[in-house]
Amino acid sequence: MLRERGLRTLGRQDMKRFLDRLDSRWRERQSNGGDRSSGFYLGPHTDQPFPLNPQFRSQPVLSEPAREWIWRRVVQKGEALKIVSADMGVDIRRVAAVVRLKEVEKRWLQNGKKLATPYSEAIMSMLPQTQYFIPNNKDPQTAPHEPHEPINEIHTHGHTLQQLFWPVAESRAFTREDAASAFSPIMLTPERRSPHTELIDAEKAVISNEMSRAEAMDMWRQRAEKNQADLNRRMEEKLKTDRACVTSVHTDRFEFRFKDFDSENVGKLGRKRDAIGHKYGVPNYDRKRGAVKIPTSVP
């Protein structure tokens, strides 16, 4: 049968059998509802898209129902970003990005624009996905699940990249606050730089037996909601202030915006970052004669 198809070499015959077997597996998987929790790759591993490159591992992505559920919790229910991030195990920056992209998608649908849904479904079917139990109105509680990614990661601060010799007495308790102040007097500790400081404080209260876990979680939710409300209020006030400083002139095609600036407000050395003309380039003083080029302070 294979010779009648023109597959006269053994290599081509093996390749045809492999593709037929792969196609049958794919059709069987689609007929069973399509398991979206793992990618459909050639090798035995569910996170290795390239069979000959075991060093490259595919990271799972959020499924479409999970992204829709994040948008509903933030926009429709008004939950704080930190609460959604901690409950679903998704980084707070990814939660904000999902909400923004979902808003763009909803706006496109309202304007009658078509979405590349078949392309999106084809790409998502080839990638491992993180699935969530989406509760309905009768069952509002979310079931326990595996986190999508770490939510407490912070970037490596530039001050910590330097080698530092800091003598400390053996009898002294050297804490994280002391380590941060050794690198820089204005540097914060990792738990203060974390996006989930309220959750860290709640876990500390549970460990020190100051309150039960239920009480700590209630305190965490209240503090997260309060901080989110304060942040929204500050952003609205800043937006109103910025709009009050700008004069808009509408035309048929454009909107011209005028804002008053002080040309004399250039800073102590005349190189202020938000001064007029700074974005067009500031001359470098490295080769200027008579300028002090050595550090004048110790970091």
Q: Determine contact, residues 67/212, Cβ cutoff 8 Å.
A: no
CA atoms of 91 and 81, how far apart (whole Å): 10
Q: What is the pLDDT of residue 140?
A: 43
- Where is mean pLDDT largest: 1-10, 60-69, 94-103, 283-292? 94-103
At residue 130, does pLDDT exceed 60?
yes
Q: What is the pLDDT of residue 104?
A: 96
Residue 65: count other Cβ atoms within 10 Å of its Cβ: 14
Q: What is the pLDDT of residue 238?
A: 94
CA atoms of 234 and 238, how far apart (whole Å): 6
CA atoms of 299 and 297, how far apart (whole Å): 6
Looking at every residue in the chain, the average pLDDT score rounds to 84
Q: pTM, whole model, 2 decimals?
A: 0.74
Q: 265-288 burial string, b = 16+ CB within 10 Å, else e?
A: eeeeeeeeeebeeeeeeeeeeeee
Amino acid type, 147: P
CA atoms of 118 and 61, how far apart (whole Å): 17
CA atoms of 90 and 71, how far apart (whole Å): 13
Residue corresponding to tokens 């700074």: 278
What the block records as the tokens of 219 is 């305190």
At residue 180, does pLDDT exceed 70?
yes
Interval 20-73: pLDDT, tens? 777 676 666 655 555 545 556 666 777 777 878 888 888 889 999 999 999 999
Please report which helix (H) or strand (E) contains residue 104, including its range: helix 92-110
Amino acid type, 275: A
CA atoms of 59 and 68, how far apart (whole Å): 20
Residue 212: count other Cβ atoms within 10 Å of its Cβ: 11
**Contacts of 65 by beta carbon, 8 Å cutoff, 6+ apart:** 131, 132, 134
Beta strands 129-130; 246-250: pairing state:
unpaired
CA atoms of 294 and 285, how far apart (whole Å): 12
Q: Determine contact, residues 52/41, Cβ cutoff 8 Å.
A: no
Interval 235-291: pLDDT, tens? 999 999 999 999 999 999 999 999 888 878 888 877 888 888 777 877 777 778 887
CA atoms of 148 and 168, how far apart (whole Å): 40
Residue 39: count other Cβ atoms within 10 Å of its Cβ: 19
The Cα diameter of the chain in Å comes to 88
CA atoms of 95 and 79, how far apart (whole Å): 12
CA atoms of 55 and 39, how far apart (whole Å): 17
Q: 230-262 burial string, b = 16+ CB within 10 Å, else e?
A: eeeeeeeeeeeeeeeeeeeeeeeeeeeeeeeee
